[in-house]
């Protein structure tokens, strides 16, 4: 009897072989759910919420976030896989597959009496060797647009169909190149993702400027302004109550009028400063646009409209920084010392109405925009969500490639190379730990096997061809999913992120080892024993 039973008769316990079997079964169950999603030929999953909302996706991160996972070991693997996505932006499905396969391979040896600790030692040795192989085969190149297009295409084709991936690839790469600044890390928050329920997913495009999700609030303001100066401000242009609780007393109607005039005069002075600046800088054919984070009252809007100024109020705070990066100029908090230097410039500003929603496009001929917008279009909510998820992964893939300064060949090539190296390496390890290295090598091959299986080819036959080609050619050979034949991944332009593979090896080994070394599961916490 377990010792915990003597202390607490209500505790639930699974021991030794039973505990391991339960955990391995959970890991393989999660692996079976996600294995059909891997790669460009992977299938979709339909998630239905309690409220009946439908979500179509093949993104492992979305699936693991949205699924309700009850088993503790499966939940642990899911958390590690989603942490992988948080760190590197990709590799969630691969993470779950490799952990499941490591435990499956270990189980074959444990069932023959090998102790889990020895396998864990073998895993650790294999991980160190695999990381060395990764360092050797990584390809360091100058990250030019052509290379980044290949990296983005490889990432996006695993999330959306090929035709849409080709459209998104160009947009995503150009957006990252626009916001990249030498000497600074890439800030992906400067790429706004705006969605419009309109047209098709393939109409998604990059706007070299900013798109705001609201329009001007006065009917007489122009809907289209060319060659416009942009004033970005955070100044209230409406009457506000005093900060202290005060009352005003008057004896006659004249005194009341004076009071009202004094209140409006304060705002009118601010509006007049904008008009004076406009008159100073604008020739007859130039436009002037005011974008304010705070409110603008109807009287002020009317005055600005009479002078041909387009004014937008209550702009979102996150857009204020983006505006100054996209159009130049700087955001002002006071109109005391307004100068021409405060103004940005855009070649074209126009308003677009879609149903009841208004969009303001601040685009075209922005001077060196360092903040851009990816305008996602789609006929329904499913498409919009799918494209947005794919874009986020594509952006992260490019950012990783630029910051790493290197890539590794994809299409299962790197896993085949690592497995080959580990099989040679195991003979140099003395004792039974070399069985752990063999298990690790076999587990890595799950990636090429599943890629082939999802494309409709025989996994064993395809893998044997690829391994034979790898040995003969001494090149990194992956699987061509269109023909099922071996191909040199680098020549085909299939690249994976170096940091994703590195993180995969670390996290998979740690979690698989921890789960292997669990020999007792106790449900004996305080909360589970009440009553």
CB neighbour burial string for 19-35, b if at least 16 within 10 angstroms, e if fewer: bbebbbebbbebbebbb
Q: Which residues are catalytic?
A: 59, 92-93, 393
Gap between the Cα atoms of 493 and 157, Å rounded? 13
Gap between the Cα atoms of 151 and 409, Å rounded? 10
Task: Put the strands of the sheet holding 139-140 in their side by side order.
Answer: 139-140, 406-409, 495-497
Gap between the Cα atoms of 19 and 520, Å rounded? 6
SS3 334: coil
| Strand partners for 318 | none
Phi and psi at residue 373, to the nearest 5°: -125, 130
| Alpha carbon separation from 509 to 124, 402, 423, 515 (Å, rounded) | 7, 27, 17, 10
Give the Cβ contact number of residue 218 at 10 Å: 18
Q: Are 229 and 287 in contact (CB under 8 A)?
A: yes
Alpha-carbon Rg for the chain in angstroms: 30
List all residues 6 or more positions away from 239 whose beta carbon is below 8 Å from its beta carbon.
Answer: 263, 264, 267, 297
Gap between the Cα atoms of 280 and 406, Å rounded? 52
Question: Per the structure block, which two tokens stand in for 262?
Answer: 């004094």
Helices marked H in 315-428:
317-327, 381-404, 413-425
Gap between the Cα atoms of 125 and 123, Å rounded? 6
Return the H-helix or E-strand segment holding 410.
Answer: none
Gap between the Cα atoms of 141 and 124, Å rounded? 30
């Amino acid at each position: 009897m377990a010792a915990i039973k003597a202390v607490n008769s209500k505790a639930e316990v699974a021991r030794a072989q039973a505990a391991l079997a339960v955990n391995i079964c959970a890991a393989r169950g999660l692996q079976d759910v996600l294995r059909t999603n891997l790669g460009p030929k992977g299938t979709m999953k339909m998630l239905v919420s309690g409220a009946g909302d439908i979500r179509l996706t093949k993104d492992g991160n979305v699936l693991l976030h949205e699924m309700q996972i009850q088993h503790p070991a499966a939940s642990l693997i899911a958390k590690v896989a989603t942490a992988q996505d948080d760190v590197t932006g990709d590799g969630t499905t691969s993470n779950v597959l490799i952990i499941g396969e490591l435990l499956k391979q270990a189980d074959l040896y444990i069932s023959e009496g090998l102790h889990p600790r020895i396998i864990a030692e073998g895993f650790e040795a294999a991980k160190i060797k695999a990381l060395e192989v990764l360092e050797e085969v990584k390809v360091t190149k100058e990250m030019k647009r052509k290379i980044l297009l290949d990296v983005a295409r490889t990432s996006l084709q695993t999330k959306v169909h090929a035709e849409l991936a080709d459209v998104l690839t160009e947009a995503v790469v150009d957006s990252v190149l626009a916001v990249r600044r030498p000497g600074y890390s890439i800030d992906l928050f400067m790429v706004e993702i705006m969605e419009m329920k309109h047209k098709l997913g393939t109409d998604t495009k990059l706007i070299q400027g900013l798109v705001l999700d609201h329009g001007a609030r006065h009917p007489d303001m122009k809907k289209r302004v060319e060659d416009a100066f942009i004033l970005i401000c955070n100044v209230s242009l409406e009457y506000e109550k005093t900060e202290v609780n005060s009352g005003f007393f008057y004896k006659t109607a004249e005194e009341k009028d004076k009071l009202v005039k004094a209140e409006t005069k304060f705002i009118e002075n601010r509006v007049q400063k904008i008009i004076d600046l406009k008159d100073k800088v604008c020739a007859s054919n130039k436009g002037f646009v005011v974008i304010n984070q705070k409110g603008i009252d109807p009287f002020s809007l009317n005055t600005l409209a009479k002078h041909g100024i387009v004014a937008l109020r209550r702009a979102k705070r996150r857009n204020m920084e983006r505006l100054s990066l996209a159009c130049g100029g700087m955001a002002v908090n006071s109109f005391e010392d307004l100068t021409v230097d405060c103004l940005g410039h855009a070649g074209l500003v126009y308003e677009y109405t879609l149903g009841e929603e208004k969009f303001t496009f601040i685009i075209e001929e922005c001077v060196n925009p360092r903040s851009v917008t990816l305008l996602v279009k789609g006929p329904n909510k499913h498409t919009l969500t799918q494209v947005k998820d794919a874009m986020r992964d594509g952006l992260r893939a490019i950012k990783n490639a630029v910051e790493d300064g290197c890539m590794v060949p994809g299409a299962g090539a790197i896993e085949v190379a690592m497995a080959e190296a580990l099989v040679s390496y195991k003979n140099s390890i003395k004792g039974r730990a070399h069985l752990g290295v063999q298990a690790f090598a076999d587990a890595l091959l799950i990636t090429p096997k599943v890629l082939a299986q999802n494309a409709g080819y025989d996994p064993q036959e395809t893998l044997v061809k690829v391994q034979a080609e790898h040995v003969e050619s001494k090149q990194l050979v992956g699987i061509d999913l269109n023909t099922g034949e071996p191909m040199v991944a680098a020549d085909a332009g299939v690249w994976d992120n170096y940091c994703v593979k590195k993180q995969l090896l670390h996290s998979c080994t740690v979690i698989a080892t921890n789960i292997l070394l669990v020999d007792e599961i106790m449900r004996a916490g305080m909360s589970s024993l009440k009553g």
